[in-house]
Amino acid sequence: MVYYSTGERRPLLVRAVANPLRKLASRGLGVRHWQAVLLFVGMMINYFQRVNISAGIVPMTQSTAGAPFYSWGTSDKSLILSSFFWGYVISQVPAGLLAKRFGAKLVLGLATAIGGILCFFHPIAAKSGWQSICVLRVLTGLVQGTVYPCVHTLLAKWVPRTERGLLTTGVYSGAQFGTAVILVTSGFIFESSMGWPGLFYLSGGLSLAWALLFFWQAANEPATASRISKGEVEYIESLTGSNSASQSMPVPWMSIFRSPAFYGLLAAHCGFTWGFYTLLTEMPTYMSKVLQLNVKSNAFLSSLPYFAMGLLCFVVSPISDLLINRGTISITTGRKLFNSIGQWGPMACLIGLGYMTSEEKTWAIVLLTLAVGINAGCSCGYLINHIDLSPNFAGPMMGVTNGIAGVTSIIAPLVVGAIVSDEEDPSQWRIVFFITGGIYLVCNAIFLIFGKATVQKWNETSSTSSTMTLRNHQENDSKTIVPTSDKDILF
């Protein structure tokens, strides 16, 4: 049995797991893990759509393997890189509401398919000028804005609280692996007979293929999934806190916007987004101009930080779950600890990176890899905090925070474009890295002050019994003690 550390001898969660079917469902692989795999691949594919322009912008503006190239200036390229986020920001909140109303499966599947179709038009649009590419990137941003709210909505339904760190982080690590894969393969694609247009054609084809698989295999919630056992359905529903009636529940916007915990989460989300997308959009240019790497080396080395982040996600997430489930630290402490690692660690790396030159390529690459890789800590920090605060409204909340944070994704490339007039001048890039480090410092400090990881009162109504069960038995920000005897292990 699991008890509170306060000595109160009542179970942490409902005793229903004593049911042998639920106990069996809590061990081994289940349908929830297959859903997580589908979403992991989906995150990879959607990041192909998102990142292909960051990799392609270099060969699109210089001669490579006979492919067409265009004389776009630094400010033009900055507008292209930021235009994705103009559409991305607009669609966040509507996407969360659409997912809640019509089901995240339908919204996410359609959005991925439409984004795949848009990929095919990029090489054609480039011939008409950079303005046409900007239009396509805005449209791509509009459909991509559905991804995080939809995935969060699905995770809130499918992931038990005791597996939240591992499965949620595993799913979202697809973003890093997708970024790494497209960056590392882009160099070979650019030098192939396809040239840089091939990057967009492959992104589009894979997007359509995944959308078909997702429509076939995915489900909005355990109760509507095929080939799932009754025991696993009961196990998941008893440990998510997301009620089946939440689809018809009104979003408590006023309560959300009056919550200090929400603003702590928002600050952490904004800090991560500024840092992550500054490096994502500008790293290929930095490596090409300052570190003077060729296209193939640039592509491979640009991918290293994202491989590192993806792998570290699978290191930090089980550690986080272990520390929390054993009662070593509270959930709130865990979220703040790992978010601090994920933002203040990269801050230190960026300060060092500001003093690197082309003669110190190795150290610069090491620091870049660490600056992005250590971001993995945030996957067990702010990224799953929406579900901690409100399992029923995690999707709409993600839409709000990701939409506001997306504004920083628009501003960051424009700031870089305003600061960096000479792309080969390390001192100008130093200013960019220092600004990014300062944003990491302030935003995570706000999260430390205001952040929480307990289910909020506005998550539930009197009729949402599963949510009340979780709230009543969840840690009220106290530590939990998990005994080690097999008969008492509930999860």
**Crossing angle of the two packed helices 260-289 and 394-419, in degrees rounded to 10:** 40
More confident residue, 130 or 295: 130
Residue 472 inside a domain? The answer is: yes
In the chain, the number of structural domains is 1
Compute the C-alpha angle 56/59/62, nearest 5°.
150
pLDDT band at 342 (very low <50, low <70, confident <90, very high): very high
69 vs 60, 133, 159, 289, CA distance in Å?
5, 13, 46, 18
How much is the pLDDT for 296? 60
CA distance 387 to 377: 17
Residue 7 inside a domain? The answer is: no
CA distance 308 to 370: 8
What is the CATH number for 178?
A: 1.20.1250.20
pLDDT tops 90 at residue 151: yes
Residue 4 inside a domain? The answer is: no
Residue 2 inside a domain? The answer is: no
How much is the pLDDT for 483? 37
Asked if 388 contacts 330 with a C-beta cutoff of 8 angstroms, the reply is: no
- pTM for the model stands at 0.76
How much is the pLDDT for 416? 87
Residue 331 inside a domain? The answer is: yes
How much is the pLDDT for 470? 47
Report pLDDT digits (tens) over 67-98: 788 888 877 887 888 788 888 888 988 888 88
Report pLDDT digits (tens) over 236-246: 888 776 555 55
pLDDT band at 346 (very low <50, low <70, confident <90, very high): very high
pLDDT band at 15 (very low <50, low <70, confident <90, very high): very low
pLDDT, the chain, mean: 83
Q: What are the tokens at 310? A: 């993806």
How much is the pLDDT for 479? 44
Residue 370 inside a domain? The answer is: yes
Residue 236 inside a domain? The answer is: yes
Strand partners, 64: 67
Cβ of 236: how many Cβ atoms within 10 Å? 26
> Which residue bears the tokens 């006979």?
66
- Look at residues 174, 145, 44 and name the one whose alpha carbon lies nearest to residue 395: 145
Compute the C-alpha angle 437/387/211, nearest 5°.
90
Residue 61 inside a domain? The answer is: yes
How much is the pLDDT for 10? 34
Provide the domain limits for residue 134.
Answer: 12-480
